[in-house]
Structure 1
Amino acid sequence: MKVSLPFVGMVMAECAQVGLIIVSKAVMSKGMSSFIFICYSNALASLILLLSSLLFHRSQRPPLTFSIVCGFFLLGLFGFLAQLFGYTGINLSSPTLGTAMLNLVPGFTFVLAVAFRMEKVDWRTFTTLAKSMGTIVSIGGAFILTYYKGPPIWMTRFPLNSSPQLFVQLSNWVIGGLLLAVDCVMTSAWIIIQALILKKYPAELIVVFFYCFFVTILSAIVCLVVERDPFAWSLKPNMRLAAVLYSVCK
């Protein structure tokens, strides 16, 4: 039973992530800015995690040092970039492509883990061969899927039965797929950084709180520069509020 629990947890996390992709696509299609969505969801998560961390880590809290705080900021920076590229890519493409591109994360994580010597490579073992083949297949399949929809993107003239709008949609699909690929790279880097921080600061709730806190600050700064319309911060219709609440639950 204990052996199967991590796999069950990962499956549930993937299902929740797919749900978040669909919900975020729906609200952004209705006009909600991805910057504001990131800011609201992480701000609410920061508040919940602050209360939770104070409750669960009342007696024992590892000491905070400047290097640890810098690590938290770096974790927040990569997390913010991952969310930014991810939501923008989903907005330009589709939830189906966004879900498919999630398969890149294990492959990129394996590559980075090998680069940082967190993963041992022994070509004589079946484990290393399986991980390497899986990485190649996942990355190759994701890029094939990115360029799959419609006619070639290098087409300079429109066929008689097509339109400039179709060409724009195809271009958006490809750009969205590439942004989702960048999102996967950032997510993999975020996982590596998180693993390194947890070795030095083994307090999961506090780590996640500071991550959401710094993402909130970074996204709020970007929102103040990019989003000049005060009505863009509105959570009406209620679907926006429901999406933010779901993102926190995820």
Structure 2
Amino acid sequence: MGLYYYGIRDTTTTYATNFLNLIPVVTFILSISFRLEKVNVHTKAGKVKSLGAVICVADALTTSLYNGEAFYIGHHHHDHSSHIITSMPSNSHWVRDTLMLLSSCFSYSACMVSHTSEVDECIPSQVLQSVVLGLCLETSVAAWRLDLDLQLLTIVYSWYEK
């Protein structure tokens, strides 16, 4: 996420958000590369998976590269020339920031792919991490008190389903 935050620093939020849409595609490509996912393009499922990846990339490219008219919500009765919207800030380092956003996308996908085989083994460590983080962020004793309510029922139900 640090790479994403550095990448968004000098770009627009719309531009940076498009890289989040590429994470499923990069994850799909990495999982195929590491033989965690099998795609047979001769089956209906394989065609749908491939078509979904192409649509995600086309959508991200379209919204990144499209420079249309400014869109205003509501009625503006004043001069719109003072509210010109540009696609990128004038002081941007768009090559550097694009590389950071791409690196963020790749890192997040690689993290998800690397954790697929370890999911069952790392659940106790995830619980421990959550408890430590909770203790650091929520120090009041009242927040840790268990009541017989919907929150407790949700926790028990989600634990039971695993």
Q: TM (normalized to structure 2)?
A: 0.55
Computed over aligned residues only, the root mean square deviation of the Cα atoms, in angstroms, reads 3.1
* 2:114 equivalent among 193, 216, 238: 193
TM-aligned CA distance change 1:114 to 1:186, over 3 Å: same
Aligned residues: 113
CA contact (8 A) 1:146 1:173 kept: no
CA contact (8 A) 2:41 2:47 kept: yes
1:87 and 2:5 aligned: yes
CA contact (8 A) 1:122 1:128 kept: yes
Structure with greater Cα Rg: 2
1:177 and 2:98 aligned: yes
Alignment correspondent of 1:227: none
Q: TM (normalized to structure 1)?
A: 0.38
* 1:203 equivalent among 103, 124, 127: 124
What letter matches 1:181 in structure 2?
A: L
Q: Distance in 2 between matches of 1:145 and 1:170?
A: 21
* 1:142 equivalent among 56, 60, 80: 60
Runs of 4+ residues deviating >6 angstroms: none
Q: Distance in 2 between matches of 1:141 and 1:167?
A: 19
Shift of 1:98: 2.3
1:115 and 2:28 aligned: no
TM-aligned CA distance change 1:132 to 1:109, over 3 Å: same
Name stretches of at least 5 consecutive residues in structure 2 with no aligned partner. Answer: 69-86, 134-162
Instruction: Report SS of the residue matched to 1:110.
Output: helix
CA contact (8 A) 1:90 1:98 kept: yes
Q: Distance in 2 between matches of 1:188 and 1:132?
A: 17
- Residues 123-132 or 173-182, more deviating: 173-182
Note the alpha carbon deviations across 1:150-198, whole angstroms, 9 max, x for none.
9xxxxxxxxxxxxxxx997275345433422221111100111222221
